[in-house]
Homo-oligomer: A and B are copies of this chain.
Amino acid sequence: SGRRSLRRPFATSSGACPGIVGRSYRHVEATHTTEPHFVLRTLHQSWIINFFCNYEESRGNYLVDVDGNRMLDLYTQISSIPIGYNHPALLKLMTNPHNLSTFVNRPALGILPPENFPDKISESLLSVAPSGMSRVQTMACGSCSNENAFKSMFIWYRNKERGQTAPSDQDLSTCMVNQAPGCPDLSILSFMGSFHGRTMGCLATTHSKVIHKLDIPSFDWPIAPFPRLQYPLEEFTRENAQEESRCLEEVEDLIVKWRQKGKPVAGIVVEPIQAEGGDNHASPDFFRSLRNIARKHGSAFHVDEVQTGGGTTGKFWAHEHWGMDDPADIVSFSKKLLTGGYFQRDELQPDKPYRIFNTWMGDPSKNLFLAEVLNVIHRENLLEEVTRSGKALLKGLYELQGQYPNILSRARGQGTFCAVDICDDETRNSIMLKARDKGVILGGCGDRSIRFRPALVFKEYHVHIFLNIFSDVLAQLK
């Protein structure tokens, strides 16, 4: 393929490939054995470094490694690069001397924001507020966003239980020592296969892989099954509708059961598409019903758009595909939005200041970039591009799946947020490595899926470049 061999003095065994995460604890052990370079041994997680990158030379959809290999990137730093590498609009922003102080002086945003903060928030986050939501809180990362979104739901739920009266003296004294009623036995309902982050509150709602959860204490919170749809969807309409009904019934049963256990469900958290857990989709009907169940039982409804948000499904938010005026009480984000945070409905706003707070509360330099990213999305019609590229990508995957039925199955997606299942984990990893050797970076998810997460600037011709290479890789496997 004309590719230069990778000089990777610091790299781990060749089994390391972006986004490959073995579900089995033992599997992970087996694939990482090479002793890394001295300096890197002093880094905590050196052993999962795939390769070192030259970010200065990377451009658009192409990531360049230290050896100058230029690779078409369909994984984009775990789906966190919105408009490709070194977009001129972002580089230009860095050359404006008035922006320098935003990078050099990170404020305690909650109490001492910069002068231009309201403007930057208006230009950026508020311009993409989900339907029904007028309030936004920035945070530094996805986990902190979900942690604080959960806290908002707990606070809201307890205020509702107290009838908006002040907390009792007992509430105030017990909360200081982690005891009820001050620290109440409330729960968040989540779904099997979900991923909402790895800090301890988030982790109690994450159920995608053993490696995330083993040995970490958790909460006794309810976990509902997420629909396992059969593909192609049009052939399994009845079965899939039944499957979704079954899961929704289970949600209601769990809400009742946990209320009876004395651990009421303060909120339901769900991804519009379960990403880390294997790109599991459900129908708009499923989500509309779920939102209604939450309302019926007095639980808040939190849609986690950390991976789905930012345009990759062809709409800015994946929940827009549900067609609802009132899709959620809280929508959290991070990754492609460059800053973490969440939107919420007015009712979810905590009743007192400092209930949700930390030192940095986000990072205004990320808001600067985000405002420019949104300009570019608008100016370059990137949501339309994503829709067009996504259709071409999915069409190509359907064709390859028809051609290689023993290797590929369950091609699925929305926009360019696509995935396909591989016959087994070993074949998946082999495909991903071969693709990388041909200059394409892919990521895995779930047991044996490949997830496609290109940037929003991934055009139709990039799809065809990818499909040609992917086709070659599959032909070699046959």
- On A, residues with C-beta under 8 Å from B are 10, 16, 18-19, 21, 24-26, 28-29, 32, 37, 39-45, 47-56, 58, 63, 66, 77-78, 80-81, 85-87, 90-91, 94, 98, 100-108, 110-115, 117-118, 121-122, 126, 134-137, 140-144, 147-148, 150-151, 154-155, 157-159, 166-167, 171-172, 175-179, 182-187, 192, 197-202, 204, 207, 210-221, 223, 334-335, 338, 344, 349-350, 352-361, 365, 369
Smallest CB–CB gap between A161 and chain B, Å? Answer: 9
Please provide the 9 A-B residue pairs with the shortest distance between their CB atoms, ordered closest to farther. Answer: A200-B201, A44-B137, A183-B218, A178-B218, A158-B215, A48-B353, A147-B199, A77-B108, A56-B101
B28 x A353 contact (CB < 8 A): yes
A-B contact pairs, 26 of them (CB 8 A): A29-B352, A32-B352, A42-B126, A42-B135, A45-B110, A45-B361, A49-B113, A56-B101, A77-B105, A77-B108, A81-B106, A86-B105, A103-B103, A140-B140, A140-B144, A141-B144, A141-B360, A148-B199, A150-B200, A167-B214, A175-B218, A179-B218, A186-B217, A199-B202, A211-B354, A212-B354
A354 x B199 contact (CB < 8 A): no
Q: Which residues of B contact A365 (CB under 8 A)?
A: 103
Beyond contacts A52-B114, A103-B103: 4 other A-B pairs, Cβ-Cβ < 8 A, are A25-B172, A45-B353, A49-B111, A53-B113
B42 x A134 contact (CB < 8 A): yes
A94 x B103 contact (CB < 8 A): yes
Smallest CB–CB gap between A356 and chain B, Å? Answer: 6
B10 x A118 contact (CB < 8 A): yes
B53 x A216 contact (CB < 8 A): no
Q: Which residues of B contact A210 (CB under 8 A)?
A: 172, 175-176, 182
A166 x B200 contact (CB < 8 A): no
A106 x B77 contact (CB < 8 A): yes
Q: Which residues of B contact A335 (CB under 8 A)?
A: 359
Q: Which residues of B contact A143 (CB under 8 A)?
A: 144, 147, 199, 358
A39 x B118 contact (CB < 8 A): yes
Q: Which residues of B contact A144 (CB under 8 A)?
A: 140-141, 143-144, 199
Q: Which residues of B contact A10 (CB under 8 A)?
A: 118
Q: Which residues of B contact A102 (CB under 8 A)?
A: 55
A91 x B100 contact (CB < 8 A): yes
Q: Which residues of B contact A24 (CB under 8 A)?
A: 172
B44 x A344 contact (CB < 8 A): yes
B137 x A176 contact (CB < 8 A): no
A80 x B106 contact (CB < 8 A): yes
Smallest CB–CB gap between A391 and chain B, Å? Answer: 27
In the assembled complex, the Cα of A122 lies from the Cα of B115 at a distance in Å of 36
In the assembled complex, the Cα of A54 lies from the Cα of B49 at a distance in Å of 40
Q: Which residues of B contact A115 (CB under 8 A)?
A: 52-55, 66
Contact of A360 among B80, B91, B211 (CB under 8 A): B80
Contact of A25 among B43, B108, B166, B199 (CB under 8 A): B166
Query: Which residue from chain B places its CB closest to the CB of A193 in the assembled complex?
Result: B176
Q: Which residues of B contact A90 (CB under 8 A)?
A: 104
A142 x B358 contact (CB < 8 A): yes
> Given A141-B358, A214-B167, is A101 in contact with B86 using a C-beta cutoff of 8 Å?
yes
Chain B CB within 10 Å, residue with most, of A26, A157, A218: A218
A167 x B354 contact (CB < 8 A): no
In the assembled complex, the Cα of A18 lies from the Cα of B85 at a distance in Å of 39
> Given A110-B45, A112-B51, is A217 in contact with B185 using a C-beta cutoff of 8 Å?
yes
> Given A39-B118, A338-B106, A353-B32, is A155 in contact with B215 using a C-beta cutoff of 8 Å?
yes
A200 x B200 contact (CB < 8 A): yes
Q: Which residues of B contact A50 (CB under 8 A)?
A: 111-112
In the assembled complex, the Cα of A38 lies from the Cα of B48 at a distance in Å of 47
Q: Which residues of B contact A39 (CB under 8 A)?
A: 118, 121-122, 126
Smallest CB–CB gap between A443 and chain B, Å? Answer: 10
In the assembled complex, the Cα of A222 lies from the Cα of B124 at a distance in Å of 44
Smallest CB–CB gap between A378 and chain B, Å? Answer: 19
Query: Which residue from chain B places its CB closest to the CB of A340 in the assembled complex?
Result: B140
Smallest CB–CB gap between A312 and chain B, Å? Answer: 14
Smallest CB–CB gap between A477 and chain B, Å? Answer: 24
